[in-house]
Structure 1
């Protein structure tokens, strides 16, 4: 367990496992490093794998300040890389982590080797927003938990996996941090920055993702020069967990530059 210091002094918790070339795994909005628990070992078997708690989550500091934005989260990742002594790493970001990874690759290009963007979006106004029925279900305290589970996983998976689930929000998340995470993700707009990404890029998305609509995947792949697109049939928002057997091998091959990912 280690802590880096962000530019504003906030402590950023991160953990390192495995060996090989460095790989940073970035979690979704309001979540911490445990987002990756079900699959982290698969990556650590090949790479020196870094996972972190966003500011406001887990064992990181949670300042109630205007420092929660996807570009600033990218600067927090750079602080972690600096503290870990890593000059350049592969980056795999999912959901809000994918939004942060876009800024990391655009604004800190020298730090990014290969880039994987999973179940993410370029942001408003060019991205495709979730539908009104989804927003309504998530806003209702009575239905929000069940709705989020069903957006993350298929009914078949939920019927055979009782949890715990690590994609539903950090267990250590103050109310102010939850609000600020939501605002940071909602305000993300990297559209103009995407053409500046020079890292080889793979865009991955589940075909049945209504939480972050699947239509965002080709938008990203078309906007980022030379990007490849990989769709996971039947995958919902947590495709990387439920469909790990389908998604992880091609991601590993892409990161190892062993094969061309096909849509």
Structure 2
């Protein structure tokens, strides 16, 4: 497993597959690169680059600090290790928050940006409802897992795909790292930085996403200059996997022609 060394000496594992221009894929909170296992092969003509966030997978698991800014710095260390000066970046969920930090603070490293099922964070974000929060706090792990699955995927998709599922978190994370990831996501607030994002940006979101409410998508699109918004009808949080047939070509078309207007669906 190849590693890059972060500024504090932590080892960050990364995975590079395929040939062509580099597309960085950033996973959700408390997940490692396996988040993208059912998706990355769909990005034909691209080299896909994933990382294991610190605290996950094969990366080091220090006790802190954890932040979306820090995750963006870790990704920069990986890009430096690979001598990738500029890449396309596609971040989903917390990965979208990391991508916001990278694009705002290191604009020279991002050619085009895709933000999926994510939010700006802070007081401007639309938070998930009380019922959703309650459903994720069962004392019975099986109930919590089922609730998370139903937030990720539609019932029809779950019935046709019995698993394994790659978006439910890294089961081998130590407790301190899980807390660190939660803190990083909760403390994210890029509202003041979003207008400084210069990369062409596509914002994607499932209309039926309750885990990260879909109302966050137009907030991001309006805040980032020139950003385009595409809502995936009927999709939930893991729209990128369940609707890969639609979203994969949509993302590739945007990345190939980031200045082209995206038709609404």
User: Match of 1:135?
Assistant: 133
Figure out how many residues of one structure are paired with residues of the other and give that number: 261
User: Match of 1:8?
Assistant: 8
Distance 1:76 1:210 in 2: 29
Give a deviation string over 1:72-126, Cα, whole Å, max 9, x none.
1110110010111100000000000000000000001000000000000000210
Report the secondary structure of 1:41's partner residue. helix
- Tell me how far 1:262 sits from its aligned partner: 2.8
Report the secondary structure of 1:139's partner residue. coil
- Tell me how far 1:219 sits from its aligned partner: 0.1
List 4+ stretches of structure 1 deviating above 6 A. Answer: none
Aligned residues of 1:59 and 1:172 also touching (Cα < 8 A): no
- Tell me how far 1:260 sits from its aligned partner: 2.4
In structure 2, the CA distance between the partners of 1:184 and 1:82, relative to structure 1 (3 Å rule), is same
- Tell me how far 1:178 sits from its aligned partner: 0.5
Correspondence 1:3-82 to 2 at 5 A: 3-43=3-43, 45-66=44-65, 68-82=66-80
Residue 189 in structure 1 maps to residue 183 in structure 2: no
Q: Normalised by the size of structure 1, how large is the TM-score? A: 0.97
- Tell me how far 1:46 sits from its aligned partner: 1.4
- Tell me how far 1:223 sits from its aligned partner: 0.1
Distance 1:172 1:12 in 2: 16
Q: Normalised by the size of structure 2, how large is the TM-score? A: 0.97
Report the secondary structure of 2:124's partner residue. coil
**115, 118, 121: which is aligned to 2:116?**
118
- Tell me how far 1:144 sits from its aligned partner: 1.3
- Tell me how far 1:21 sits from its aligned partner: 1.0
Aligned residues of 1:25 and 1:91 also touching (Cα < 8 A): yes
- Tell me how far 1:211 sits from its aligned partner: 0.2
Q: Note the residue ranges of structure 2 that are not aligned, 5 or more in a row.
A: none
- Tell me how far 1:255 sits from its aligned partner: 0.6
Distance 2:139 2:92 in 1: 25
Report the secondary structure of 2:50's partner residue. strand
Distance 1:222 1:124 in 2: 16
User: Match of 1:97?
Assistant: 95
Correspondence 1:174-253 to 2 at 5 A: 174-253=174-253
Residue 152 in structure 1 maps to residue 155 in structure 2: no
Report the secondary structure of 2:55's partner residue. coil
Give a deviation string over 1:208-242, Cα, whole Å, max 9, x none.
00000000000000000000001111110000000
- Tell me how far 1:171 sits from its aligned partner: 2.8
Distance 1:24 1:64 in 2: 26
Q: Note the residue ranges of structure 1 that are not aligned, 5 or more in a row.
A: none
Distance 1:11 1:145 in 2: 30
Give a deviation string over 1:150-179, Cα, whole Å, max 9, x none.
000000011111111010001321111001
Give a deviation string over 1:125-160, Cα, whole Å, max 9, x none.
100000000001101132311110000000001111
